[in-house]
Structure formats: C-alpha cells, structure tokens
Structure 1
Amino acid sequence: MRDVIIIGAGPAGLAGAIACASYGLNVTILDEFIKPGGRLLGQLHQDPSGEWWNGIKEAERLHQEAKKLSVEIRCGVSVYNLEKEDFLWNVHTNAGTFTATHVLVATGAAEYPIPVPGWTLPGVMSIGAAQVMTNVHRVEVGKKGIIIGANILAFAILNELQLAGIKVDRIVLPEISPISQKSGEPEEVLKSLLNAAHLAPSPLLRFGSKFMKNESIRKLGLQFYPKGGVKINGTPLQLRKAAVEIIGKDHVEGVRVADVDVAGAVIPGSETIYEADFVCIAGGLYPLAELTAVAGCPFHYVPELGGHVPVHSEWMETPLAGLFVAGNITGIESGKIAMAQGTVAGLAIAKQAGKESGTIAQHLEKAIQNVRTVRQQAAIQFNPEIQNGRQNMKEIWENKYGINKDSLLNEQIV
C-alpha cells in the first residue's frame, strides 16, 4: 500500500509527487505513456521575455528531482477505474490494483475532435498529435500542410512546426456546424484571438488589434478581411475561408475550401482546392476528467475553465476525502500553472496525511499565492475568462457544497 498514488506523470503530477515526497510520503506515479513528462514533452516556444521554454528539459528536471526523493514512476500503465473502500482508494490498472490513502488525479486535457469529410484519410491528425510527432518522436508529419481551426493552441504548435522546417500553407476555419459551433464563426474566432494579440509577430497587427476590440469595428474589419488572409509568421490566417472536405485517394492530397460570410455561412460557388499532404485539426482542449467521474466526484460545467470540471477548492481537494486534482483536469491553462497547482495539491495531501511541521501551512499558502501569480503573469490564456471561471468554482465550493476550506485539510486519514 502507498501513501499517495498520482495518476498522470505530466507537469502537475510530477510537481505534486515532489511536494508529497518532500514530506516523507511514499508516492507512486502511474502514466500510460512510455516516459514521464506529459504534454511538457512536446512544448518548445519562446516566452515574451525572450527566454526559451523547453518542455523536454523541464520534464527531465522534474523527473530527476522526483527520483532523488524516491518517487516510484511506472509508465505504460493505464488506469481504468478508481473506487474508495473504507478509508482507502483502489486504483485499478492493466498492471493490477494499487491501494493508497490519497490519490491525486492529474490526467490533463484532451482535444476536441471536429469531424470534417475525409478526416479518416492517412495524413489527417489533431494539432496535438502533430506536436508530439514533431517534438517528441522527431517524425516529419509532412512536407506541406493545412491547419483547420484557429485558436491559441494552433498558433503555438504552428510555430513549433515552422521551427522544425515543416511548411504550413494556411490556416482556415472548420465549416460551421452543431459540432464546430463557435470555432466556425469568424467573429467569435477573431474575438478569442484578440486576447493573444499582444504576442502577434507584427507591430501593425498588435496596434490594429486594439481597435478590433470594438464590436462595430470588428464587424467592419471582418467584412473587409483580406481573402488572402493575414500572415502569422509567414502562414496566412484565413478567417473568411472554411474547410468543407479533405480530399485524397489513399492519403491526404488536398483540402476543398470555400469562402464564408461574416457569420460563417458558406458562399455557394466559391470552392477552391489547396494541395497538402497533411492536415491538422485544431478543435481546442477540454479537461480529461472521466476518472474522477467514475470515482463519484461531483462536476460542474464551467465554460471559462474549458467544460465540465470536478468540484475542487484552491487547495486542489475534492468533496471526496483523500481525492485531489491538479492541472488541466481543473481547467485549461499552461504547463507552468499545472506545475504550480501540483505543488499545492502535494502540500495539501501532506498536511491532510498528518505530516505536520512548523512550516507546511506557510508553504501551502505561498504555493496557492504562486498559482495566482503565475496565472496573472501568463502571456496567453487558452480561455480568456479564466479568472471568472476560477472565482465561479470557488463560490461553488464554498456555497453549494457548504464545505469550509480548512475542514478536509484538518482531517487526518489513518
């Protein structure tokens, strides 16, 4: 039996393990991938400060720190069930059942699929798959590609593909549908992108974006949006074009694209075929929280956090004693915030497990403040209203469930 089982060896899971083990807890991390690091392994970008964020190096740093603290990391292990029996949690996996008094679920996020006719052809992948193939496995995804979907994640990975010498010919929207929803509406897409306009490579784009925040000017701008698009690091972003079909016989050969009006409706007779040998679909991210649902944790739909999320406090505890969450399972944010949340969860677990010391309460408060600081300093937000979402969850925790924020932390499980 372990003191703590952590599900997920990404930034939140590794940081949580380090915090737990620092207070003498016996920790095991389970992850289905072949190596620890999670989404950190695919990240490579330059921060506004000019410094480079190398996810592989960051993952290795966390891995080595966890190993020094005798954290057991078991990769290639898939968790399919999570249940509580008396005071213990049973974690059922393809490698048997593990038991612990505390569980931290740090399963991260998954990508929304947006079906496009022809999307089963070889050469079609999610934007996240292109990132992993390029940065982790060092596999060239193709020579010339098209991205369907314009969001923050798409632009971050576009830059990574360009750094690897892979040509992305253009970015277009998905055809508007009940599934694509706002991602197929030019104005909604433009509104979401304005929240990251300060990162635009062109001074003209950064200056012009200030005026686009006015609804009337934004609508006028879309009306006269250039058909050739606005270039992002050399790749045209075409907000007035939508992919209606991915074409090819045995593999991707191109994308059939149509002009759309400002509302996203296809303009008849405007179709054009653009050649490509790979296609990335960027539908955005949502919290990967099924395991907490299986465990019986209550959920709430908070769109500012990316979808349905398990109820949790700033201490990262859930209403189920001994069950904690951290990282993108609680809301879509950056790897740095996931690490900060993991540290909070680890310290909270140590406090609840009775590893009391004269400093743990102070460390926990500082860790919570660090989450807020990292969030405020974040260059981009996947969901621009993330602060409102966090406040919403805090109110749900304190009001609807009537749980005092200190009650579970003061409870020692033996």
Structure 2
Amino acid sequence: MIDLVIVGAGPAGLGAAIAAAENGLEVCILDEFVKPGGRLLGQLHEEPDGKWVNGIAEAQKLYNRAVELGVDIQCGVSVYDLIELDNGWCVYTTNQAIESKCLLLATGASETAIPIPGWTLPGAMSIGAAQVMGNVHRVKPGEKGIIIGVNVLSVAIARELQLCGVHIESILLPQPSLISGNASNPEKMMESLLRLSHLAPSPLIRFGGKWVSPKLGARLYPKNGFKMWGIPIQLRKTALEIVGENQVEGVRIADISAAGEVAAGTEKTISADFVCIAGGLTPMSELAAVAGCSFCYVPELGGHVPLHNEYMQTNLKGLYVAGNITGVESAKVAKTQGTVAGLSAARELNALMSSANEKINTAIAEVIETRRKALIQFQPGIEEARTFLHTRYYESEGEMISV
C-alpha cells in the first residue's frame, strides 16, 4: 500500500505530488491523457507585464520536479472505480487496482455544451477542443472560425487561436433558450466581458471596463461590437444555426436587443470553416460521487462541488480534492491548492514532523493571495463562495456528530 494516489496530472495534481514527496511520501499520479500537465498544456498567453506564459513549459517544470522526487506518474490510465477501505482507499484503473493510505482527486473541469442546430456537423467543436488542437497538437482547427459564447474562456482562447495563425471572424452569443440561459443574455455577458477589460489592448476598453455598468454597457454596446486584438466581440448578435452540407460552412446570425430578443428581418449568414461553442466549465466530480462524498451546489464555483474545508479534506477520511474539481479557477490557484492537499495528506500520515500547522497555514495563505492576484476570475464572488463552502463543511461535521 502506497502513501498517496493522485487522480489527475494537471497543476493541482502535480503540485500536490511535489509537496507530498518533498515530505517523504510515496506518491503515484494517474491521468487518462497521454501527457502530464492537464489544462496547462493548452495555455499560451501574455501577462499585463508583457511576460508570456507557456503552459507546456510550466507543465514540464512541474513534471521534472515530481520525477526528481521519485513520483510515479502513469499517463494513459483511466480510473473507473474507488472503494474506501478500513485503512485507506482502493483505486481501480484500466491497468490495475492500487491501494493507498490517502487519495487525492484532482480531476479538473469539463466543458458545458450548448446545443445549437447544426452542432453535429464536422468542424463544430467545443472551445477547449480547439485550444488543445492548436496549442497542444499544433494543428489548426481551421482557417476562419466563429466562436459562439462570450465568456472568460472564449475570449482567452480566441486570442490563443489567433496566435496559432487562425482568423477569428467574431465571438457572439448563442440563441436564447432554456439551456443557454444567461449565456444568451447581453447584460449578463457584459458582466463577464467587463471582468476581462483589463486584458484589452485598447486603453478605451480598459477605462470603460472600470466605470460602465453591465446594463448600461449592454444597451450602449454597438451592434458590430468592440474589437480585442482585432477580434469582434458581438453582444448584440446571436447564432441561430450552424450551416453546411457535409461540414461547417458558416453560421446564420441575427441582431438582438439588450434584453436578448431577436430582431426580425436581421438574419444573415456569415462564412466560416469551423465553429467553436463556448458554454463554460463545470467541476468534473464523478469520481467524488462514486467515492460517496457529500456535495454542495455553489453557482460561483461552477456547480456541484465536493464538500471540503480549507485543508482540501472532504468528509471522507483520507480523501482530498484540489483544483477545478473544487470550483473553476485559474491553473495557478489549482497548483497552490494542490500544495495544501499534499501537505495535509503528509500531516495525516505523520510525515510533517515539525511545524506542520505552520507549513499548511502558509500554503493556505498562498492560495488566498494567488486567488486575489488572479489575472482572470471565471465568476464573481469566488472568495465569498469559498467561505460559504468551508462553513458548510464544518456545519455538516457538527450535524454528523450530533446524530
């Protein structure tokens, strides 16, 4: 039986493995992808100070450190079941069953789909799939694309696709429907866009992002949109249908009001050879459910997340979570959460012989500071949501004790 099994080789999993192995734990990481790094592998962006962040290079640094510490990293391996034992966990994989004293789930997040007529045509894909094609596999998803969905993810990846030599014709909203919900509402999407205004190359947009309210901004927003890096972001146009015979040939669009109502007689078709659908992210928590974790629904964190405290401990002994499974945030936050989880597991196994609480509290403070300085916030109110979640964890513990 090894000390710690980690499911997920992204920034959270690698960060946890490094922290645990530095304190003497025997660690094994499992990941279904062929390379370690998780979502880091697809990231390529410029920070406000002009420094470029290359996710592949960052992932390699973490991987090299983990290997140097003796961490066993197994890629191309899927986990399909978890069973709690009297003294730990049994993890069932496509290769073998592995028993461990502690288990960390760092499975990340999955994309939320928004069904649109024509979305099954070849050339229609999720925004994340286009990012992986371009930044990981170095394959263009097409020459001219349209992105349906205006949010943090779509704007960031649009810029990455542009750096791959792809022309992005426009980023626009999905058609109003029960499924698209707020994603089709110009005012709600204006809130998301204003949170990205500090990244804009235009001083006018950066200035406006500080002072314009979402409601006023949506009403004053020009029908042809504003451009960021030359890419039109159009909150007053909606995608009605992806069109094409045997593959994507374009998108049928229409003008909409600030409230999201389609304007009759404004329909037209714009050409494209691929379309990306950006519906947002939600925590990938299936394995936590299989394990028997309690859950809490927190919209600011992306949906249902495993109940856990600031030490990344769930309500099940020896089971920890870190990264986007705990709520959708940046890769930097995920890595710091992983460090906390790795140290917490080491403390549980009595491997932190001195200053255990001080080390973990310092790591928790680093999570808070990294979150505060995050370049991109996927949702507003994340800090308050985290406080609510941790409070609910301790309340549930009290309820269990009283029973």
TM-score normalised by the chain length of structure 1:
0.94
Pick aligned residue for 1:306 from 302, 317, 323: 302
Identify the range of structure 1 (320-329 vs 391-400) with the bigger mean alpha-carbon deviation: 391-400
Aligned to 2:133: 133
Q: Distance in 1 between matches of 2:266 and 2:162?
A: 29
CA distance in 2, matches of 1:223, 1:349: 51
Give 1:394 shift.
1.5
Shift of 1:90: 1.0
Shift of 1:209: 2.4
1:203 Cα deviation from its structure 2 partner: 0.8
> Is 1:397–1:403's contact at 8 Å kept on the other side of the alignment?
no
1:114 has 2:114 as partner: yes
Shift of 1:233: 0.9
Alignment pair present for 1:385 and 2:400: no
* Correspondences of 1:233-382 after superposition (within 5 Å): 233-382=229-378
Task: Return the letter of the residue paired with 2:93.
Answer: T
Number of residue-to-residue matches in the alignment: 400
Contact preservation (8 Å) 1:15, 1:343: yes
SS at match of 1:242: strand
Q: CA deviation at 1:392?
A: 0.8
Who is 1:195 aligned against? 195
SS of residue matched to 1:341: helix
Q: Does 1:80 align with 2:80?
A: yes
Partners of 2:187 and 2:217 within 8 A in 1: no
C-alpha deviation, 1:70, in angstroms: 0.7
Secondary structure of the structure 2 residue equivalent to 1:110: strand
* Deviation (angstroms), 1:220: 4.3
Name the counterpart of 2:205: 205
Q: Distance in 1 between matches of 2:73 and 2:395?
A: 38
Deviations 1:42-64 (Å, cap 9, x if unpaired)?
Answer: 10111112211111011000000
C-alpha contact 1:46 1:53 (8 A) present in aligned 2? yes
Give the deviation of 1:352 after TM superposition.
0.2
Shift of 1:221: 4.0
Structure 2 counterpart SS, 1:401: helix
CA distance in 2, matches of 1:272, 1:4: 56
1:91-126 Cα deviation digits (max 9, x unpaired)? 111112111110000000011000010000110111
Mind listing any 5+ residue stretches in structure 1 that lack a counterpart? 405-414
Structure 1 pair 131–403 and aligned structure 2 pair: CA distance change class (3 A): farther
Which deviates further from its counterpart, 238-247 or 188-197? 188-197
| Cα deviation, residue 196, structure 1 | 2.2
Preserved CA contact (<8 Å) 2:7 2:105: yes
Task: Note if contact 2:190-2:217 (Cα within 8 Å) is conserved in structure 1.
Answer: no
1:221 to 1:345, Cα distance in 2 relative to 1, 3 A: closer
SS of 1:173's equivalent?
strand
The residue type equivalent to 1:236 in the other structure is: P
| Structure 1 residue 403, shift from structure 2 partner | 8.7
CA shift for structure 1 position 2? 1.4
The answer to whether the Cα contact below 8 Å between 2:195 and 2:209 also exists between their aligned partners in 1 is no
Aligned counterparts of 1:50 and 1:386: Cα–Cα separation in 2: 27
- The AA in structure 2 aligned to 1:158 is A
Q: 1:220 to 1:345 in 2, by over 3 A?
A: closer
